[in-house]
Every structure is written in structure tokens, then in C-alpha cells.
Amino acid sequence: MSQSAKPKSAEPQLPEDNIPESIARRRMIKAFGWFALASAVPFGVYEWVKNSVGAQGIKRPLRNVLNVNEAIARTYFSDTHLIPTFPVEAAAKQARINGYDGIKSPIPEGWKLQIDRANATPLLLTVDDVKALPKHEIVYEFKCIEGWSQVQHWAGARLSDFMEKYKLGTHSGNVPNPDNTNDLFKYVGLETPDKEYYVGIDIESALHPQTLLAYELNGQPITAPHGAPLRLIIPVKYGVKNLKRIGRMFFADTRPRDFWAERGYDYYVGL
Ligand SMILES: Nc1nc2c(c(=O)[nH]1)N[C@H]1C(S)=C(S)[C@@H](COP(=O)(O)O)O[C@H]1N2
Ligand SMILES: [Mo]
């Protein structure tokens, strides 16, 4: 083989200062064109969002973003996605209160946590039953979808421990097993005793290690406006899913009703 068979560059490379004027001008115009386009995009996107109202009253492009969030939310499992935590001193001394749906009347006399089960009678449990499980504390940034957030200090039992102890969330009636997802129901439904507020949670988020059946705020029993005697604390979700004053819990393969999803918010609202 001859040495002259080496491939050669098809076009000569010009040093920058040798560029003919016509090309330089064209490049300049091109650059200005991109600049003009770049400045136009935000407005264009804004108009697009504003004008395309989609399903459930949510603007369609936003809806699409939220669908991506849903796909991400569904990959949560065990400790693969932990919400950042803070030292106890970082917690607000006075936790903010937001939302009174389902908690406007006094806590029912003789309150019990009712758990509906597929092939068994409902369980009726007390806060002491929940307190019998290992206690976990979490200090994290609680986020409300309305735009505020606050570092708060909660304590309670892991929902996953609770589901394990009472063999909940499975078709078989066995302990939930992350390796046997076919046996798991897809959702947990929660509602207040008066059924005025209700949420649905994907099972992956329910079994997340930071998800608590909470009975304490700042080291004290939760007060009525914060959801006494027992509320859900689910850091991988926005505030809306953190149902206060749980009355009933059930498991389902179809989406349980959800108060704010019915009013146009994304069903998953994951973080
Ligand atoms: N029963 C009930 N739970 C609820 C609500 C509500 O209106 N009723 N509001 C939700 C919303 S939107 C938020 S931000 C949090 C607020 O919890 P907090 O009042 O303890 O701050 O509770 C959630 N859980
Ligand atoms: Mo909220």
C-alpha cells in the first residue's frame, strides 16, 4: 500500500483573521438571529401555556411536565430517594397551619383508626397501637403547593412498619414485600372521619422510609389544627397529601378519590 492513501481534509481550515468579510457578516447576522429568537422564546412559551387549557383545568404543557413527575414518582422505592433532613434546631418553633377541610368539627369521641382490608374485617386501632411501633423523627422542609415552605419537626411510626405489622397493602394478606410488587395494591386511600378531606397515595411513596403516621410535632402531641390525633407525614409529597386527622385507610388498585386532584392539581404531586 502506498503512503499517499492517507485521507486528507476536504476543506482547508482558515485561521479566524483570514475569514472573508462576506462570511464574517453572515455569521454576525446569524448570531443576532439567535439572540432575537432567544429573547422571543420566553414570551412564546408563556403564550403557549396560557392558551392551551388541558384536562382537569390544568394548562396542557404544565400537565405534560407533571406527567413526567408522575413517571419519576413511580420509581421511588425504599431509600433510593431521600428528602434532605435538618438538625432539630432548624425547625420552626411555630409550625404554620393550612387547610381545615375535614377537621372543622371536634375530633370524634372515641376516635379509632379504621383500616379496611380485602378479605378480613376492618381493623380499629388507637394511637397507642401506632406508638407501639418504633418511633422515627424527621426534620425536613415541609412544602405547600401554594408557595410556602417551612422546616418542621415531626415524629411517628413509619407507615411501612405499620403495614408490615398489620400485614396491609397486599392482595395475599401477607407482609408487603418490595420484591413482589405484583402482590402490592397500587394505592393507599386516606380520609378524615367526616370524609370531607381525602387523598390517594401511590404505594411506593406510602412505603417510603420517610413516610410517617405522625403523632408528634416539635416533641408534643399534634394539636387539633395540625391533625390530631394522627396524621400522615409524607415528605416525598407536597403538603396536600399530608392528610390531617386520619379516620380511615384502605388499599386499592385504582386511584382513590383525591380532594385536590379533583380540583385540578396533579394527582402525584411528588417531590
Ligand atoms: N384534613 C386535612 N388535611 C390537610 C389539609 C386539609 O385542608 N384538611 N390541607 C393540606 C395542606 S394543603 C397542607 S399544606 C397541609 C398543612 O398542614 P399544617 O396545617 O399542619 O401546616 O395539610 C394538608 N392536610
Ligand atoms: Mo398546602
Cα 52 to ligand 1 centre (Å): 30
pLDDT of residue 134: 97
Q: Which residue has the cell 390530631?
A: 228
List the residue whose alpha carbon is closest to atom 21 of ligand 1.
97
Give the single-character DSSP code of 61: H
Q: Which ligand is nearest to the CA of 101?
A: 1
Atom of ligand 1 nearest to the CA of 98: 19
Cα 142 to ligand 2 centre (Å): 9
CATH entry 3.20.20.70 includes domain 54-263: no
pLDDT of residue 119: 80
Interval 197-214 mean pLDDT: 96
Q: How many whole angstroms separate alpha carbon 222 and alpha carbon 231?
A: 9
pLDDT of residue 68: 52
Which of 244, 257, 260 for a ligand 1 pocket mutation test, highest count of atoms within 8 Å of Cβ? 244
Q: Would you say 114 and 249 are in contact if contact means Cβ atoms under 8 Å apart?
A: yes
Would you say residue 36 has pLDDT above 60? no
List the residue whose alpha carbon is closest to atom 17 of ligand 1.
98
Interval 253-266 mean pLDDT: 97
> What pTM was estimated for this model as a whole?
0.75
List the residue whose alpha carbon is closest to atom 19 of ligand 1.
97
Each domain of the chain, given as residue ranges in start order, spans 18-50, 54-263
pLDDT of residue 80: 62
Q: Which of 49-58, 102-111, 177-186 has the lowest mean pLDDT?
A: 49-58
Q: Would you say 232 and 249 are in contact if contact means Cβ atoms under 8 Å apart?
A: no
Q: Would you say 124 and 242 are in contact if contact means Cβ atoms under 8 Å apart?
A: no
Site residues for ligand 1, CB cut-off 6 Å? 95-103, 144, 192, 197, 226-227, 239-240, 242-245
pLDDT tens digit string along 54-93?
334 343 444 444 455 554 444 444 456 899 999 999 999 9
pLDDT of residue 70: 52
Other C-beta atoms lying within 10 Å of the C-beta of residue 236:
23
List the residue whose alpha carbon is closest to atom 18 of ligand 1.
97
| Strand, helix or coil for residue 227 | coil
pLDDT tens digit string along 110-147?
999 999 997 889 999 999 999 999 999 999 999 999 99
pLDDT of residue 174: 93
Interval 168-178 mean pLDDT: 92
Helix (H) or strand (E) segment spanning residue 267: none
pLDDT of residue 179: 80
Which of 93, 96, 97, 98 for a ligand 1 pocket mutation test, highest count of atoms within 8 Å of Cβ? 98
pLDDT of residue 67: 52
Interval 86-111 mean pLDDT: 98
Interval 2-31 mean pLDDT: 43
pLDDT tens digit string along 220-229?
999 999 999 9
